[in-house]
Structure 1
Amino acid sequence: MDFAPYQSDEPSASRTNLGGSGTYTPPPVPRSTSTASPPPPPVYSSSPNAYAGGSSSTYGPPAEEQQNVPVNQYETSIPLRLDYESVLAYGALPPVGSVALLVFETKNDYIRFHSWQACLLFTPLFILFIILSFSTILSYLVLAVYIVFAVYMAYRAYRDSSSLERLELPVIGRLASDWVDSE
């Protein structure tokens, strides 16, 4: 007896196909010569809030649909332009300003990269400055290196913000880039 929920005939019709030998003979399958077109692809919304009722929420589209939402690489969480924010990573009292940008900037990888790089660059310099503060000449030398790096890196971050090109320092830049890419 065939109790499949998808059967097309009533159960009595399949019972009539039993021959005298007790073997089952399946009913003929109709063959279609026309080819059916595949179903249309689902329509995705370009608005990330379309799935959350139009409000800012933690709910979003399913994972397979999140790949189709366009991402603006120049958009930031803080209401500042990208180039000004990248300068703040190096110019706003590093490493304190860099840590503040890491906390408040959650959207833009370019800013997060420069914030990580500034933290990794200026924290050891700041600690070295504190340690060498007993010597006036050595502390001023470290302060001069600190200021030169801050000005040059802020200038490069500002200049490269239009193309989103990253100036990676030899060891620190690779580490900062890996951390941003893994977030």
Structure 2
Amino acid sequence: MEKRNKSSLPIILFAIVLAIATVALIVAGNAKDQERIEKETAAISSSQSEESSSEEETEISSSSTSYSSSFISSSSSSTTSESTSNFIPREYQNALRSAKNYLSYSAFSKQGLYEQLISEYGEQYPAEAAQYAVDNCGADWKSEALESAKNYLKYSPMSDAELYEQLTSEYGENFTPEEAQYAIDNLPK
């Protein structure tokens, strides 16, 4: 057991350096990327059904998940010329942009990305905003698992069993068993 922990140290250090580099790139930001992400967010927003004009809570539905938002309401006097992105809270939009930025630089599981978005050492988004982001970022989680597996094997040789454990571990990547198995089955022979 102790031997395994020592062999995991380079992987952990690599992950920390990668996370720091990712945060630096996100902070630096690229105007074109931000514009592209805003357009994608607007497209997601426009695909959602129009909100009712009552003053009651409005629910944002996506990927079979409902996000109850008491702070989002529309009034009878609302005009249809308002941008649809106004119905998605700014913090939700920002969480989605952060999620897409993370995925453009590194492989994440859905749970791993969620935890990065809510972490006190990461983005510190509210849980609801982070859930909205991971449900709407458009990631193919099986492909993310495969990319992560390739990255592990690039820096440290592992058996399939050890790689599977690393991919599914709550202390590792947190992929689902199905995603991890897909990754192992689709690694180059």
Higher strand proportion (structure 1 or 2): 2
TM-score by length of 2: 0.24
Larger Rg: 1
